[in-house]
Amino acid sequence: MEIDLKDCSTVLQFLDKIAGVLKVSNYFSFNLERLSGLLSSLDKNGFKFPLTLKFSNIDGYRNKCPRGWEIFVVSLENARKEYQKRGLKFDYEFSEEEN
């Protein structure tokens, strides 16, 4: 699943983008902790596994919101570990902006 972060320059824009692409209520989009919980329960929200989330154009958000980015990456890694315990394959990839 592809998630383009090109137009995300704030935490709220980033969370709204994630919620929109994952097609979940933007109830989750106002808090990084809630997003973390969502990432660890995608199987309960109808997503099929194996699942790879591919994030593109990450530079803008990562550079403007480094703490939010750090929290997000930890959430992704925690989700991967949680799915591994359940025998599900979950992964993620990042790509930089192209010039």
The predicted model gives 85-91 an average pLDDT of: 97
Backbone angles phi, psi at 43, to 5 degrees: -65, -30
Cα 3 to Cα 35: distance, rounded to the nearest angstrom: 15
Q: What is the pLDDT of residue 34?
A: 82
Confirm whether 99 is domain-assigned: no
Confirm whether 30 is domain-assigned: yes
Confirm whether 39 is domain-assigned: yes
pLDDT by residue (tens digit) across 28-62? 546 788 888 889 999 998 899 999 999 999 999 99
Lookup result for tokens 């979950």: 90
Q: What is the pLDDT of residue 33?
A: 81
Asked whether the predicted pLDDT for residue 99 surpasses 80, the reply is no
Domain tally, the chain:
1
Mean pLDDT of the chain: 90
Query: Residue 82 belongs to a domain with what CATH number?
Result: 3.30.370.10
Instruction: Domain of residue 78: give its range.
Output: 2-94
pTM (2 d.p.): 0.89
